[in-house]
Chains A and B, each alone.
Chain A
Amino acid sequence: MKPGTRLKSAACDTEVMVIRAAEGQIECGGAPMAETKPADPAPLAADFSAGTLMGKRYIDADGKYELLCVKPGKGSLGVDGQALVVKDAKPLPASD
């Protein structure tokens, strides 16, 4: 998965931009994400329904995956069934 690729959720409105990724399956709301939305929406899995927040970056424990949420939705993100977590950003004082 190339950095910069935009993926859409099959289960909700979530869209992400890939910053970093490996070979695993990127999912949202428990369903695989793809560059196009399927005609029929996938059901939202209960374990992946905490929602995504615009502008937040989501990462896995190994640092292999990083996704930027560019459109929020009801599903939450995962890779091969493992939930991703929000990357803590430490904003700097505005310098420019």
Chain B
Amino acid sequence: MNIALLLEMAAEAAPDRIALVCDGKRWTYSDLLAAARGAFAIIQDSGADYVALLDESSEAAVIAVFGAALAGVPYCPLNYRLPDADLAALLGRIAPALVIGDEERVTRIAQDQGHTILSREEFTLQTQETVPADDAREYDPGEGVAIQLFTSGTTAAPKAAILRHSNLLGYILGTVEFAGADEADAALVVVPPYHIAGISALLSSIYAQRRIVMLPSFSPEGWLALVQAEAVTNAFVVPTMLSRIIEAMDNGTTAEIASLRAIAYGGGKMPLEVIHKALERFPAAGFTNAYGLTETSSTVALLGPEDHRQALASSDSKIRARLTSLGKPIPTVEMEIRGDDGRVMPVGEAGEIYVRGEQVSGEYKEKSALDADGWFPTRDAGYMDEEGYLFLSGRADDVIVRGGENMSPGEIEDVLLTHPAIADACACAIPSVEWGEAVGIAVVTRDGHEAPHENELKDLVRQRLRSSRVPEKVAFVTELPYNEMGKLLRRKVKDVLAG
């Protein structure tokens, strides 16, 4: 199998349809396929073992991913936000590579690693000048690696997660209808190219023949302007982006947004307040919350537009609570919640989320994390309600173990966020002589409110949850640390609480 098939099919069925708009330039499906075939020749000539991208999103990302696939070489987009030393180490692990993007930086930090280095402009130009055969492909009918993504590595050296062609094709063929998009449809892609959501967005849009509108660098104003200029119909955002878009609209930035039919979000926890505001600001749009991981080729569970509408309209607190859930597993994926002893947990009880399916690779270059039956332990903790809606409680490593009792930070945070003066909250484990671990919280006071007294927050938790959940330490902070994808950096909060 080979993901290049997705572009080959789109170019076969609709050669002259616009596939991609980036920085005002328009590419048809046949333009992109011709460039990918050009890239195939360049990659083969370079003798590279990997194709790396060190750049923001552009047409080069699309050409590189499909060119690498045609050449049978893994595509490895890198995080340009990493410090030089970390980046040089990752480049060393994929040498020799064809590195596309920041030529100056790669030359400076990894000159002696044997890479072939091309700037975005050189690469794109060369792919168009090269004229390869029409059937140019190093066709691999087996189980070749399509994508290698380094995990963020907050605890140890970054792991090299690998996604095989069969994983990605399993995901796309199972969830996207070929040519299912209308010709007017356009998807705004703003997720960085080194993130799985940025890659799956390209693959699924191309297979659906939904025009990709790229915004290389996010700003709320730029996003809104592009929605209007390209009459964007679909968009994926991470929570911080949505929050900043709404803030810009609140502050008077205007744009014609009636074309937006579907907004998907994921990548981190979406504050309830933001989703409520978003539903008001984009009344015509259907909202989808998508949950997925790099190791699962993107989405494994989703809360769809109908779920959002039902939750909003319901007077039942259980149904309303689904707005904070990740929805249900998609039909092509199996999911289980398991306890520490490996047994499947009953409804409502938290444990580790396990998934299985064609799209689930669960594989690192060093070793596979799949168990004997093909299940992948996500290291995410969560539980399911009686209707099968999945709720995330945090990373399995974030579970607070107080005197043998497992507590999820999420349930404590959800209670704290019901306090009118609390804008944001994080619960994590703090060392305790008596209990091994205890609960510590860091909270952000809402603008225009007085900080509540510590005891008020403790009482709130005591009333709503069990006394074991009552925080022993409370810190008031001006803001909580998030990474650029909207993920809360709990380890940093732990440091604050320990200090």
Chain A residues with CB under 8 Å of chain B are 2-6, 17, 19, 54-57, 68, 70-71, 89-96
Complex CA–CA separation, A2 to B141 (angstroms): 7
CA of A59 to CA of B308 in the docked complex: distance in angstroms? 34
B330 located at the interface, meaning its Cβ lies under 8 Å from any Cβ of chain A in the complex: yes
What residues of B have a CB within 8 angstroms of the CB of A4 in the complex?
Answer: 1-2, 139-142, 165-166
Find B304's partner among A5, A56, A93 (CB 8 Å cutoff): A93
Task: Assess the B264–A54 pair: CB atoms within 8 A.
Answer: no
Contacts of A89 in B (CB 8 A): 174, 177
Task: Tell me which residues across on chain B come within 8 A of A3, comparing CB atoms.
Answer: 1, 141, 166
Neighbouring B residues of A96 by C-beta, 8 Å: 197, 200-201, 204, 236, 264, 266, 290, 292, 298-299
Interface string of B131-148 (1 = CB under 8 A from A): 000000001111000000
Least Cβ distance of A73 to chain B in Å? Answer: 12
What is the CA–CA distance of A4 and B168 in the complex, to the nearest angstrom?
A: 13
10 sample A-B contacts, Cβ–Cβ < 8 Å, listed by A number: A2-B142, A3-B166, A4-B2, A54-B12, A55-B13, A70-B8, A91-B175, A93-B302, A93-B304, A96-B290
The docked-state distance in angstroms from the alpha carbon of A89 to that of B141 is: 24
Closest to A55 in B: B178
Give the complex CA separation of A5 and B207 in angstroms: 19
Q: Are B266 and A95 in contact (CB under 8 A)?
A: yes
Could you say which of B12, B141, B299 contacts A71, with CB atoms under 8 Å apart? B12
| Distance of A66 Cα from B290 Cα, bound (Å) | 28
Interface mask (B285-316 → A, CB under 8 Å = 1, otherwise 0): 01010101000001100101100000000000
Assembly CA distance A93 to B235 (angstroms): 12
Hey, which chain A residues are within 8 Å of B208, CB to CB? 94
Which residues of the other chain, A, contact B335 by a CB distance below 8 angstroms? none
**Distance in Å from the Cβ of A52 to the closest Cβ of chain B?**
12
Q: How far is the CA of A91 from the CA of B208 in the complex (A)?
A: 10
Q: Report how far A95 CA is from B289 CA in the complex, Å.
A: 7
B5 within 8 A of partner (CB): yes
A85 to B455, CA, bound (A): 66
Are B210 and A94 in contact (CB-based, < 8 A)? Answer: yes
* Closest Cβ–Cβ distance, residue A4 to chain B (whole Å): 4
Q: A4-B2, A17-B5, A68-B173 are in contact. Are A93 and B288 (CB under 8 A)?
A: yes
CB-based closest 3 A-B pairs: A55-B178, A4-B141, A95-B290
Quick one: which of A6, A17, A19, A93 has the most chain B CB within 10 A?
A93
| Interface membership of chain B positions 249-265, coded 1 if the CB is closer than 8 angstroms to chain A and 0 otherwise | 00000000000001010
Residue among A55, A56, A70, A90 with most chain B CB within 10 A: A55
Classify the secondary structure of B's interface with A.
mixed
Number of interchain pairs (Cβ within 8 Å)? 87
Query: How far apart sit A93 and B305, CA to CA, in the bound complex (Å)?
Result: 8
Alpha-carbon gap, A2 to B392, bound state (A): 38
With an 8 A cutoff between CB atoms, is B179 at the interface? yes
Contact status A54-B9, CB under 8 Å? yes
CB pair A91 B9 closer than 8 Å: no
B173 proximity list for chain A (CB < 8 A): 19, 57, 68
A17 touches B1 (CB 8 A): yes
**Given A17-B1, A55-B177, A70-B5, are A94 and B141 neighbors across the interface (CB < 8 Å)?**
no
Indicate whether B114 reaches chain A with its CB closer than 8 angstroms: no
Residues of B contacting A6 with CB < 8 Å?
Answer: 139
Per the bound structure, the CA–CA distance linking A3 and B5 in Å amounts to 13
Does B58 belong to the interface (CB within 8 Å)?
no
**B180 touches A (CB below 8 Å):** yes
In the complex, whether B448 has a CB less than 8 A from a CB of chain A is no
A95 touches B288 (CB 8 A): yes
Asked whether B177 lies within 8 Å of A95 as measured between CB atoms, the reply is no
Q: Which residues from A are CB-within-8-Å of B384?
A: none
Docked complex Cα distance between A29 and B180 (Å): 26
> Smallest Cβ distance from B408 to chain A, in angstroms?
25
- Does chain A have a CB within 8 A of B444? no
Alpha-carbon distance A19/B166, docked complex (angstroms): 9
Min Cβ gap B19→A in Å is 16
Knowing A19-B173, A54-B178, A55-B178, the reply to whether A95 touches B2 (Cβ < 8 A) is no
Tell yes or no: B331 within 8 A of A by CB: yes
Q: Is B167 in the interface zone, CB < 8 Å from A?
A: no
A6 to B178, CA, bound (A): 18
Question: Is B61 positioned at the interface, with any CB of A under 8 Å from its CB?
Answer: no
**Chain A residues near B141 (CB, 8 Å)?**
2-5
Smallest Cβ-Cβ distance to A95: which chain B residue: B290
User: With A and B bound together, what is the CA distance between A51 and B298 in angstroms?
Assistant: 34
B176 contacts chain A at the CB level, 8 A cutoff = yes
Residue in chain A with minimal CB distance to B197: A96
Give the Cβ gap from B391 to chain A, nearest Cβ, in Å: 18
Tell whether B187 is near chain A: CB-to-CB under 8 Å.
Answer: yes
New contact pairs (13) apart from A56-B178, A90-B331, A92-B330, CB-CB < 8 Å: A2-B142, A3-B1, A55-B13, A55-B178, A92-B299, A93-B305, A94-B208, A94-B210, A95-B175, A95-B266, A95-B292, A95-B299, A96-B204
